[in-house]
Structure 1
Amino acid sequence: MDKKAKNILFKTYWKNGWVSRIYTDPDDFDYAKSKGLMFDPLTISHDQCLVQIHGLLSVISMDKVLKAFLSSLSTRRLDWRSGIASYFIAQQLPPHIYTKVISGQSYDNTGKVTHTSYTCGICRDLKYGIIGNEFYKHIDLNVLNFERIKWGGVRHGHLEYTFFDLQQFQLTEIPEPTAEDITIFTSILEIIESSQSADYPGALEKRLAPVIPSTKDERKVLIEILSCIDILKPASYNRPSRGRGDWIFAESWRGEDKYDKASLEKYFGGYIG
């Protein structure tokens, strides 16, 4: 990854926190774009997006996303890590056309509806609920790329992110996981297995800190990804939450669930002895 282009992308959105005014010098933008890190806005429909996603699924192998996930652990290439969640989400998506359903409404003080928002009902009713709009106009792909490189993606489950993430992943060469990667992954599994029964995902995030180079936000995304691919698999989805909305895929996981051995063997059995 070109360091100068990455710096241009990052300073567009972040300086000790989100910047208040988004601006990229045109020459800087052209440079970052030439290195594949910044992009022109995208306009695409739900149906076109879905066709593109299924096309990408046909050319990306499961082995590649597994290798990318493992290789991300020591290298801290969080964009590699993001791909496995998008791949698993994409596998859930059946071919379909946009099916309009109400996703929310706003009311005035008399109870009159002032605004109605919509989403695709077929996407919504899939596991965890995929967010699919009918049209995407002038999407800022650069903020999506910033988020996937900085944290490993924060919009898994959004149709446009699934498309963009897989599109970029397909262009990426992934190395073989190293012994260090496998050691880190094994340590992560040991931490999960030693969880206390009543632990929430937040407790797991803190306990993972010593075994993987990461920030708090990176560990939260890691836990979400492990939940998305069923390594962290709740015994029940009917559990109370703490109401802060901090988690999506990991919301129902508790320490008593440990990790799902069948999923681990199915996906990572070739890497974990």
Structure 2
Amino acid sequence: MDTKAKKILINTFWTSSGWRDEKITGTKDFEYAKSKGVMFEKITIDHEELGRKLLKVYDKIDKQQVVDFFIASLTSRKLEYRSFLSSFAIARVFKTHKFQSTDYKICKNCGIYNKGKTEYDLNVLNFEKIKWGGVRFSSIEYVLFDLEQIEKITNAKPTKEDYEILEDIKNVIINLPQEERPRQLEKKLSKVFKSNINERENILNILGICGILETEDQKGFYNNFIPYNEREDRPVNKTDWSYPVDWWQGKFGINKEVWNYYFG
């Protein structure tokens, strides 16, 4: 990734104090970052067109390529590689459908806001992807954007150390005490590979979306697409976790079928 373009993108949204109030990029800087595939023009697309486009992009994606990106990120810490896995998992079971509104004008099937043409800022999605490895993992607009980026980058090759870390992650998960939750798991993973809290949280959220970390009642996106209005929030005041991993405990272990599907 072009270093200058990356800096332009990050500076558009972020300061040393956090989010920037006015998100303005100079024309010259924007055109430079756009020429490097780091910043984008806003897109306008409707609900059904977005769904069709997602499936078209998914058809071109190779599962092993996505898996390799995820595994290779464990030592390289290229955070932008990681959410390809959860985006692939969601797209794999996604089906086109008619907009079904809720009281909040959100499609109760996929969570897209608004049936008609909607403008999306791809730059904030890419900023979140590059800085944190993604935030809106289950948002269909992010899933589409994320998968579109795969063809722009060189395939990753996991190392022996990457595979060893993956196996260590698995062992920590399956040996977690039954009543412990994702936070205790995250802390124990800090001893397995170089990472910060946000990185470990994202990895666990991604494994949840894939269906590796799920419960008997709160399933990930493996056998079926989980409708937006069925992704239950755990009844707590505050949580750092996404559905379904927020519900997960050590007693549920891993879904071996899903683990083997992705990691062999």
Task: Please state which band the TM-score falls in when normalised by the shorter chain.
Answer: 0.7 to 0.9
Amino acid in structure 1 at the alignment position of 2:11: K
Change in Cα spacing, 1:192 to 1:40, as seen in structure 2 (3 Å) is same
Q: Which amino acid aligns with 1:207?
A: K
Asked if the contact 2:69–2:81 (Cα under 8 Å) also holds between the matched residues in 1, the reply is yes
Structure 2 CA distance for aligned equivalents of residues 248 and 19 of structure 1: 25
Indicate the larger mover: 195-204 or 132-141.
132-141
1:150-207 per-position Cα deviation (integer Å, ceiling 9, x unaligned): 2221101112111111111233222221112111111211221221211111111121
Please tell me whether the aligned partners of residues 46 and 136 of structure 1 are also in contact (alpha carbons under 8 angstroms).
yes
Q: Does 1:243 align with 2:241?
A: no
What residue in structure 2 maps to residue 255 of structure 1? 250
Q: 1:231 deviation in Å? A: 1.6
SS at match of 2:15: coil
1:43–1:136 Cα contact (<8 Å) kept = yes
Distance 2:195 2:154 in 1: 23
TM-score by length of 2: 0.87
CA contact (8 A) 2:47 2:112 kept: no
User: 3-state DSSP class of the match of 1:119?
Assistant: coil
Report the CA distance between 1:12 and its aligned residue.
1.3
**Offset at 1:239?**
9.9
Indicate whether 1:61 and 2:42 are aligned.
Answer: no
Q: Conserved in 2, the CA contact under 8 Å of 1:236 and 1:252?
A: no
State the one-letter code of the partner of 2:43: L
Per-residue deviation, 1:245: 3.6
Please, which runs of 5 or more residues in structure 2 have no aligned partner? 219-231
Give the structure-1-normalised TM-score: 0.85
* Structure with a larger share of its residues in strand: 1
* Partner residue of 1:155 out of 125, 136, 150: 136
* 1:113 corresponding residue in structure 2: none
Match of 1:229 in 2: 210
CA distance in 1, matches of 2:256, 2:105: 38
1:11 aligns with 2:11: yes
Residues in 2 aligned to 1:182 and 1:49: alpha-carbon distance in whole angstroms? 35
Distance 2:117 2:210 in 1: 27
1:241 touches 1:252 (CA, 8 Å); kept in 2?
A: no
AA partner of residue 243 (structure 1): N
User: Paired residues, what number?
Assistant: 249
Match of 1:119 in 2: 106
Q: Partners of 2:191 and 2:114 in 1: how far apart? A: 40
Q: Tell me how far apart the structure 1 counterparts of residues 52 and 234 of structure 2 sit (CA, whole Å).
A: 37
